[in-house]
Homo-oligomer: A and B are copies of this chain.
Amino acid sequence: MKKRDPVSNHIEADFVDRDSYEPAYVQLAKLLKRKIGAGLFLPGEMLPSESELRSFYKVSQMTVRQAINILAGDGVVRSLQGKGTFVKPMNLGAFSFQLGELQKLFIDKKHASIKFLEVDLVIPAERIAKILSIPPGERAVYIRRLILKDNEPVLIHSEYLIYDPTRPLVESEMEVTSLEGLFDGSGQTDLKKGEISINAAVFNDDEAGLLKVPPQSPAFKMVHVFYDFNDKVVSWGQFLCRGDQSHFSTKVGIWE
């Protein structure tokens, strides 16, 4: 039996097209991914070394590394210095969900609308004052609103904002809480960072009424804190989403 070439294996177009609009490193990454997907390199096995790849595909070291970095970023492969680059077994820990999926759901401009339920200057509970780092008894802006999709309510957003008397309320409110901007990154030039956590929850009677779902039906609760460039908290609040209308999904392993 003929000795198997460790690099080349039957696969369509096993070369880098220098006239392609696609960069060489992208082509190479796709090529290798396709080979891995086809089972030519099984999980745990080592890929051809970078120098093998370099000479086989007639590209430079840097180009090979760029390609392999893509695969590593995809979680398909792992490189160990001095040892080699190995195909990673699929693992669930690598699953990651993008909150952006929700964006499609309720921030669609064509179908979405917002109904304010409450906009007030309030003295927040001690717990919340603590989170906002304001003295107890000091006022904050409280906003509660309903996001509708095709006139069907899907989501309640309630939020406490730092009250800045030097700025008109409407402005600070719009800036910090313009949801479209928050999600697509078009605005929000004064927020530096944020934390968010997703929890499972059920609607209470009040919330269920607003969203027109039965009480005790499932919901996602997303609690958020936003900071400005002085690392001061500017906002704390939560999104309550209908569980039946929102979910997160993703793929892992070798696709395509």
Interface residues of A (CB under 8 A from B): 37-39, 42-44, 62, 73, 88-100, 103, 181-202, 216-220, 226-227, 229, 241, 243, 246-255
Contacts and interface: CB of A to CB of B under 8 A. Distances in A.
A152 to B, nearest CB: 17
Contacts of A38: 229
Contacts of A96: 96-99
Copies in the complex: 2
A243 B197 CA distance: 12
A153 to B, nearest CB: 16
Majority secondary structure, A binding face: mixed
B182 A200 contact: no
Nearest to A215: B216
A71 to B, nearest CB: 14
A200 B200 contact: yes
B188 A89 contact: yes
Contacts of A97: 96-97, 99, 198, 248
Contacts of A243: 199-201
B219 A216 contact: no
17 contacts: A43-B189, A73-B73, A89-B191, A90-B226, A91-B186, A92-B103, A93-B98, A93-B183, A95-B98, A96-B97, A97-B248, A193-B251, A196-B250, A198-B248, A200-B220, A216-B216, A218-B218
